[in-house]
Amino acid sequence: MPSLHEILVAALLLTGTFLMVLTGIGLIRFPDVFCRMHAAGKAGTLGVVLIVLGVAVNFAGTQQDVWLRGILAVFFQLLTAPAATHLLARACYICEYPLSERTAVDELRGYLPSRPDEVFNQE
């Protein structure tokens, strides 16, 4: 019979891994780059945070305690991942990457300068 400690670790790891698999499926299935960023930016971040917390819980109370490093890694990931995704989405919108044809509302139209890309904007 697994102990409560192991059940907690397994629950954190399995939830994080499930979110990472959802991220991969979203990367393949979603129609345009902004939807893919939606999948990678939210589910991926939460998945990594849960897995790192699982490691920190697993080694808590033993000789090799990583609570501080784990918490700092979680903090760092929560700080940098939204910034990176936001920068990339803004750059994509400025470079006029095509939206999905099922897009209903484009509220950003006319607010950002447009700069169609010469180098990378080819198929």
Partner 1 sequence: MSLFLSVVLKLCLAALLASGLMCLYRMRIGPKAADRAVAFDTLAMVFIGIICVLCIQWDSVLYFDAVWILMLVGFLGSASIAKFLEKGRIF
Do 56 and 70 form a contact (C-beta atoms < 8 A)? yes
CA distances from 105 to 16, 65, 73, 100, 108 (A): 32, 49, 37, 11, 9
Q: Is 77 in the site for partner 1 (CB under 8 A)?
A: yes
Which residue among 42, 59, 60, 99 contacts partner 1 (CB under 8 A)? 59
Task: Give contact residues for partner 1 (rule: CB under 8 A).
Answer: 2-3, 6, 9-10, 13-14, 16-18, 20-21, 23-25, 27-28, 33, 36-37, 40, 44-45, 47-48, 51-52, 54-55, 58-59, 64, 66, 69-70, 73, 76-77, 80-81, 83-85, 87-88, 90-92, 94-95, 97, 115, 117, 119-123
